[in-house]
């Protein structure tokens, strides 16, 4: 696939990761970027991720094969109108937002439907900004494409091939279906995580006993509550209609759970946990979903000096990098007390096999 020039409006985590992937897989492609954050532009230029850094949206964006809108959801919609001077018949205008209805409606209002294809790389990180971007952030991540009714088929085909060339997994969806699906599997969990953390905070004892005992599994299931408040405020406001309906249904499911508990319905409670376990265990492991996976394992260790250093040495001597390591004082669902986090699936698999070979007991997430 031949690409001559790609433009980026916004160079944060996702925009920066796409730009890095383009540089890795299309080294001869010219990249031009605008961002209000001049430090991000300077860093991207210094690292040779982009060729041209723009402090305004100007003629440097003429002749692009793709223009990516990579700012917060509402701002992407506002930037659409500023793209009209750069339109040509072969241009693909796209975004990376996790809500699609507002930008599709604006594209239709502006008469941009033949140029526009909504895009949503279902990947991310609790960290934000260009400095956290990585080319491998897209690898094995579902990349949802939402063409309009007027988007030429050859453009949809080209974008699908382009996403696949960045090692992502492209899937084509109708934009309203996209917002319902992501509202359920991405937006709702973030609301649940945030409300659960706030619930514990409000119910905590004066000496913060809940906070100090939470650790382990509680921190794992509420990890996404550390995400950007500004970003999730916008997502909730932009997907309000879907989220209202989804929250109503979820609240109803909680009410059913409450009734089973208060009614001491043992069989119903058992089936609730059994069905959730079976459905979760049936989910594929080979690809990244909308909530970034952590590659962590738990290792049962003897209470003796130097054991953590021994494990770190075993992994390092085999070329395995550790992202994070620490002792879990609350054993909760797993018996292991040493939590080791890795950067990717390959490192995770290699470390697990290696520690088992050295007769350590491993508990996977």
pLDDT digits (tens, 9 = 90+) for 189-202: 999 999 999 999 99
* pLDDT at residue number 335: 44
Distance CA 168, CA 98 (A): 16
* pLDDT at residue number 289: 59
* pLDDT at residue number 125: 67
Phi-psi region of 319 (alpha: psi -120 to 50; beta: other; left: phi over 0): left
* pLDDT at residue number 287: 53
Written as six digits, the tokens of 20 are 């890095």
* pLDDT at residue number 126: 62
Which residues in the chain land under pLDDT 50? 331-336
Distance CA 16, CA 288 (A): 18
Burial string for 95-130 (b: 16+ CB within 10 Å, else e) reads: bbbbbbbbbbebbeeeebbbbbbbbbbbbbeeebbb
Distance CA 18, CA 147 (A): 19
* pLDDT at residue number 109: 96
Between the CA atoms of 104, 151, 166 and 11, what dihedral angle is there, to the nearest 10 degrees?
A: -40
* pLDDT at residue number 62: 97
């Amino acid at each position: 696939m031949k690409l001559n020039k790609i433009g980026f409006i916004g160079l944060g985590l996702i925009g920066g990761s796409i730009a890095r992937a383009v540089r890795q897989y299309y080294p001869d492609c010219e990249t031009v970027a605008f961002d209000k954050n001049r430090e991000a532009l300077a860093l991207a230029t210094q690292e040779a991720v982009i060729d041209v850094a723009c402090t305004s949206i100007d003629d440097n964006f003429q002749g692009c094969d793709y223009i990516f809108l990579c700012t917060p959801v509402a701002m992407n919609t506002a930037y659409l109108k500023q793209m009209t001077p750069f339109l040509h018949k072969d241009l693909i205008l796209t975004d990376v937002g996790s809500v699609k209805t507002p930008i599709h409606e604006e594209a239709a209002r502006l008469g941009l439907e033949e140029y526009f294809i909504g895009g949503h790389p279902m990947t991310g990180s609790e960290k934000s900004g260009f400095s956290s971007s990585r080319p491998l952030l897209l690898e094995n991540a579902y990349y949802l494409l939402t063409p309009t009714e007027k988007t030429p088929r050859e453009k949809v085909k080209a974008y699908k091939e382009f996403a696949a060339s960045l090692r992502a997994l492209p899937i084509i969806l109708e934009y309203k279906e996209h917002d319902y699906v992501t509202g359920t599997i991405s937006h709702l969990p973030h609301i649940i995580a945030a409300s659960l953390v706030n619930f514990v905070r409000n119910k905590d004892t004066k000496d913060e006993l809940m906070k100090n005992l939470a650790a382990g599994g509680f921190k794992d299931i509420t990890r996404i509550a550390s995400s950007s408040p500004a970003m999730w405020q916008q997502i909730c406001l932009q997907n309000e209609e879907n989220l209202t309906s989804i929250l109503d249904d979820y609240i109803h499911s909680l009410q059913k759970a409450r009734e089973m508990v208060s009614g001491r319905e043992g069989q119903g409670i058992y089936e609730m946990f059994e069905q959730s376990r079976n459905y979760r265990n049936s989910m594929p492991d080979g690809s990244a979903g909308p909530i970034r996976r952590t590659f962590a394992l738990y290792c049962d260790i003897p209470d003796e000096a130097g054991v953590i250093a021994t494990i770190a040495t075993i992994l390092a001597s085999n070329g395995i990098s550790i992202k994070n390591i620490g002792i879990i004082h609350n054993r909760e669902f797993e018996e292991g007390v040493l939590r080791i986090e890795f950067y990717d699936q390959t490192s995770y698999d290699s470390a697990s096999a290696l520690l088992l070979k050295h007769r350590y007991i491993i508990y996977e997430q």
